[in-house]
Amino acid sequence: MPVETKTTCPYCGVGCGVIARVDDDGTVSVKGDPDHPANLGRLCSKGSALAETLDLDGRLLHPEIGGQKAGWNEALDLVAGRFADAIAAHGPESVAFYVSGQLLTEDYYVANKLMKGFIGSANIDTNSRLCMSSSVAGHRRAFGADTVPGTYEDIELADLVILTGSNLAWCHPVIYQRLAAAKAARPGMKVVVIDPRRTMTSDIADLHLAIRPDGDVALFNGLLAHLAKGTAVDENCVAAHTSGFADAFAAASAMTFPALVERTGLGASELRQFFGLFERTEKVVTCYSQGVNQSSSGSDKVNAIINCHLATGRIGRPGMGPFSLTGQPNAMGGREVGGLANMLAAHMTIESAADRDRVQRFWGSPAIATRPGLKAVDMFEAVADGRIKALWIMATNPVVSMPDADRVEAAIKACPFVVVSDVLKTTDTARHAHVLLPAAGWGEKDGTVTNSERRISRQRTFLDAAGEARADWWQLSQVARRMGFAGFDYASPADIFDEHARLSAFENDGSRDFDIGAHAGIAPAGYEAMEPFQWPQPAGHTKATTRFFAKGGFYHPDGRARFVAVVPAETDRTSAAYPFTLNTGRIRDQWHTMTRTGKSARLSAHIAEPFAEIHPRDALETGIGNAGLVEIESPRGKAIVRALVTERQARGNVFVPMHWNDQFAAKARIDALVPPLTDKVSGQPASKNVAVAVRPF
Ligand code: SF4
């Protein structure tokens, strides 16, 4: 008899429910789960092709030490011993974990507990640093906690949806489908897309603002100044629930209108049209994604957007609010357990002595990290200069995805001890590991993930593990026990989720936003049957909270939100030698470094090779022909890809997808060109504004 299992798509932060069916002959097929609130039965091209990516080709089937097959005991003993030796000789700051938004929450929880509570360092960071850490920083500055105020339904209920730094149609396709359906049903709904490129998303827009790279702070400051001069500011809301408006308004008003035109690259009439739309429309949702986050001013961009919603009181009510679109399937779950180097578990903070004490008492741990650890870019810099002696990389491929990727590769090669846990043995990163640990893949592992609207869903097992592959939480627990630490005797992910839920509720009087105490004490059967739900859901509540902040209730000690006075930074990085601005991003049918989606011929047929979008005039002036090979060079590295000459690209800009690595194309690791420049608050790399030279190859 065919068996159907309800699970969740492992790709993007939309978090679509999937029904996986296994037939008697072992054939797997997938369809959208009509009961899952995120997608209501829809799937995009990547989700629909999941069954085509489950073969064992390239899978890592057993542990390896130095490229040779090894047993689990031997490998785990070696990992525990080498980490313990490094800590004994050089202290806890000499080791690090670099993890991933692909991990399930239970994996993340154990990794964070081991590093922060038992090893006693906060040197655990994640590829989510590259994805949404500027949003986290912006939320914490404005709201006092990393809280997403709204829900996907708000995007459908809004009369004006602003998409800034988001190619929604390709990067969050099912939310795009929901938006397009809502707009078709209610043609009065307006969509504004703010993006230097004309993308598939801008094709639905009533107004496309082809903004200069990193012009967003100036734009939203200009909007705030405009709103404050009219009648759209909700003075009661500002007075009752916020602080800092005067300073934010003063900063926003400092730029003259002609300077705003110059800084944003937008026409005066376009600016007035946008400002007027926002001013007149009560139900506004502003969605932002990597075009906002991946910037040296990413946190300021997020706060410039939130400032406009706080000023108008358009937050936490149906169809209103700022909305961070998370890139990865479990970036949000990682945040909940403290998977970033500057966070503690359950949205508590490392800087707070009370939070540190609370978490340490709950864990009964011998230590607790007392200061933030190394964020991703700094972590690999510490690997490069020899401060990190032992590094464990889980479920991610930094040799392709990190900025300054060639230097990151050299650093990993030179590190005295590198462990890689992955499903594949052939990634660009795995080939430099001293120890390879086979991880259970999608369909084999079991746990929870949280999507962009705070909805926790189950990923469930429907396949036997490949070879000797084991879950990441199991690998981490085994190493912790071998290092002599108690508190890692979990029998199942249900045990870990229960502990996670209890910690979220521990001494939580409502002053912390993340609380899923209603799920504490959950039995394995209850965990197995868990339906998707939005947090928070404290003990005694049968219904989770849908929206935050309609009536204040922010998480700063005084209960007020903070306006953040932000000033646009000068971000034109071009020069005579490097006259173009490189922007990197996703395409519709590939995911990250293609280790999974690259297996599907159907997905690869959409766009078969890497490309550089360039404007026809720029192509003409540089002697580049359509489909000809071009060399793109920054001070950090070079790539060679095919030219795609298109008027969709703004002049002076080139766009290259981030996915390809040296296995799929000769020289297309575009992150090798991205410098390790980061946002000063969040530490997120600036992948959208890189000065490059472009020439025919
Ligand atoms: Fe998966 Fe995202 Fe597509 Fe949904 S929208 S099916 S979560 S890739």
CB 99 within 8 A of CB 124: yes
Ligand 1 midpoint to CA 424 (Å): 22
The mean pLDDT value of the chain amounts to 96
Q: What is the DSSP letter of 650?
A: P
pLDDT digits (tens, 9 = 90+) for 515-557: 999 999 988 999 999 999 999 999 999 888 899 999 999 999 9
Atom of ligand 1 nearest to the CA of 44: 3
Question: What distance in Å separates the CA atoms of residue 654 and residue 633, rounded to the nearest whole number?
Answer: 12
Closest residue to atom 2 of ligand 1, CA basis? 12
pLDDT at 663 (0 to 100): 62
Question: What distance in Å separates the CA atoms of residue 477 and residue 111, rounded to the nearest whole number?
Answer: 8
pLDDT digits (tens, 9 = 90+) for 225-276: 999 999 999 999 999 999 999 999 999 999 999 999 999 999 999 999 999 9
Q: Of the residues 8, 43, 587, which should be mutated to test ligand 1's pocket, given the most ligand atoms within 8 Å of the CB? A: 43
Q: Is 586 in the pocket of ligand 1 (CB under 6 A)?
A: no
Question: What distance in Å separates the CA atoms of residue 210 and residue 353, rounded to the nearest whole number?
Answer: 46
Q: How many CB atoms lie within 10 A of CB 388?
A: 26
Question: What distance in Å separates the CA atoms of residue 395 and residue 438, rounded to the nearest whole number?
Answer: 10
- Predicted confidence (pLDDT) at residue 610 exceeds the cutoff of 80: yes
Phi, psi of 387 (to 5 degrees): -70, -35
pLDDT at 668 (0 to 100): 85
- Predicted confidence (pLDDT) at residue 389 exceeds the cutoff of 90: yes
Q: What is the DSSP letter of 338?
A: T
Domains and their CATH numbers in the chain: 3-53 (3.30.200.210), 64-131+334-534 (3.40.50.740), 133-325 (3.40.228.10), 580-696 (2.40.40.20)
Atom of ligand 1 nearest to the CA of 38: 4
Number of H helices, E strands in the chain: 24, 26
Q: Is 43 in the pocket of ligand 1 (CB under 6 A)?
A: yes
Q: Which H or E run contains 241?
A: helix 235-241
Cα end-to-end span (Å), the chain: 57
Q: Of the residues 7, 11, 33, 603, which should be mutated to test ligand 1's pocket, given the most ligand atoms within 8 Å of the CB? A: 11
Q: Is 173 in the pocket of ligand 1 (CB under 6 A)?
A: yes
Q: Is 38 in the pocket of ligand 1 (CB under 6 A)?
A: no
Question: What distance in Å separates the CA atoms of residue 528 and residue 608, rounded to the nearest whole number?
Answer: 40
pLDDT at 305 (0 to 100): 98
SS3 284: strand
SS3 259: helix
Mean pLDDT over 368-386 rounds to 98
pLDDT at 99 (0 to 100): 97
Ligand 1 midpoint to CA 193 (Å): 21
Question: What distance in Å separates the CA atoms of residue 123 and residue 391, rounded to the nearest whole number?
Answer: 10
Q: Is 632 in the pocket of ligand 1 (CB under 6 A)?
A: no
Q: What is the DSSP letter of 424?
A: B
Q: Is 44 in the pocket of ligand 1 (CB under 6 A)?
A: yes
Contacts of 28 (CB under 8 A, 6+ apart): 20, 21, 22, 51, 54, 443, 462, 463
Mean pLDDT over 562-574 rounds to 94
Contacts of 361 (CB under 8 A, 6+ apart): none
pLDDT at 666 (0 to 100): 58
Lowest-confidence segment of 166-170, 241-245, 442-446, 662-666 by average pLDDT: 662-666
Phi, psi of 519 (to 5 degrees): -105, 5
* Residues in the chain, total: 697
In single-letter form, the type of residue at position 572 comes to D
pLDDT at 687 (0 to 100): 95
CB 323 within 8 A of CB 286: yes
Ligand 1 midpoint to CA 442 (Å): 14
pLDDT digits (tens, 9 = 90+) for 288-327: 999 999 999 999 999 999 999 999 999 999 999 999 999 8
pLDDT at 451 (0 to 100): 97
Question: What distance in Å separates the CA atoms of residue 112 and residue 340, rounded to the nearest whole number?
Answer: 9
SS3 448: strand
Give the distance from CA 674 to its chain's centroid.
Answer: 18
Q: Is 49 in the pocket of ligand 1 (CB under 6 A)?
A: no
Atom of ligand 1 nearest to the CA of 18: 6
Mean pLDDT over 131-135 rounds to 95
Q: Of the residues 30, 102, 172, which should be mutated to test ligand 1's pocket, given the most ligand atoms within 8 Å of the CB? A: 172
Question: What distance in Å separates the CA atoms of residue 510 and residue 148, rounded to the nearest whole number?
Answer: 16
Phi, psi of 208 (to 5 degrees): -110, 120
Q: Is 92 in the pocket of ligand 1 (CB under 6 A)?
A: no
Where are the alpha helices (H) located in 353-404, listed in sequence order?
353-363, 376-384, 398-401
Burial class (CB in 10 A: 0-12, 13-18, 19+), 26: exposed
pLDDT-derived band at 329 (thresholds 50, 70, 90) equals confident
SS3 366: coil
pLDDT at 327 (0 to 100): 86
Q: Is 46 in the pocket of ligand 1 (CB under 6 A)?
A: yes
Q: How many CB atoms lie within 10 A of CB 184?
A: 10
pLDDT-derived band at 665 (thresholds 50, 70, 90) equals low
Give 462-465 contacts, CB < 8 A, sequence gap 24+: 462/3, 462/5, 462/7, 462/20, 462/22, 462/28, 463/22, 463/28, 463/54, 465/440
Q: What percent of the chain has pLDDT over 90?
A: 95
CB 544 within 8 A of CB 533: yes
Ligand 1 midpoint to CA 330 (Å): 12
CB 414 within 8 A of CB 384: yes
- Predicted confidence (pLDDT) at residue 178 exceeds the cutoff of 90: yes
- Predicted confidence (pLDDT) at residue 426 exceeds the cutoff of 90: no
pLDDT digits (tens, 9 = 90+) for 355-368: 999 999 999 999 99
Mean pLDDT over 26-32 rounds to 97
The model's pTM is 0.97
SS3 for 533-591, per residue? EECCCCCCCCCCCCCCCCCCCCCCCCCCEECCCCCCCCCCCCCCCCCEEEEEECCCCCC
pLDDT-derived band at 571 (thresholds 50, 70, 90) equals confident
CB 368 within 8 A of CB 359: yes
Atom of ligand 1 nearest to the CA of 175: 5
Question: What distance in Å separates the CA atoms of residue 64 and residue 421, rounded to the nearest whole number?
Answer: 11
Q: Is 11 in the pocket of ligand 1 (CB under 6 A)?
A: yes
